[in-house]
Amino acid sequence: MADKRDTGLTLDPKFDSNGLLTAIATDRASGELLMVAHMNAEALAATRASGEAHFWSRSRGRLWKKGETSGHVLRVVEMRIDCDQDALWLICEPAGPACHTGARSCFFRRIEGDGLAPIA
């Protein structure tokens, strides 16, 4: 029998032991996968309140707004949560590249054999 969290209509995020949810961002127009990051309760609340993606930076140990220095914000058009509420899907309108390297997507290489190849 499924848990109420799995089938109900109440938002009840299941944060992991570090207080995080996985969040994936895609481009609304193309459907392209842009990035994967993490959100804590504060990042989720800030995203919902502002309409712009906020994440928890595990490396910096702080909340950050995507594009806070580059201007390449992700405007969130729709948020979806998976069946057990431990992962989010952000459908976004990006204002520039999503990757810190300047690539449109963080997924700009594919694995080929033991190496990597750029995706055109």
Burial of 106 (0-12, 13-18, 19+ CB in 10 A): middle
Token digits for 86?
A: 């431990």
Specify whether the CB–CB gap between 20 and 37 falls below 8 A. Answer: no
99 is an annotated ligand-binding site residue? yes
92 is an annotated ligand-binding site residue? no
Specify whether the CB–CB gap between 25 and 35 falls below 8 A. Answer: yes
Calculate the alpha carbon distances from 96 to 13, 63, 75, 83, 99 in Å. Answer: 29, 21, 11, 31, 9
83 is an annotated ligand-binding site residue? yes
What residue type is assigned to position 79 of the chain? Answer: M
Binding-site residue ranges for Mg(2+) = 82, 84, 86
Binding residues for Zn(2+): 83, 99, 106
Q: Which residues are annotated as a binding site?
A: 82-84, 86, 99, 106
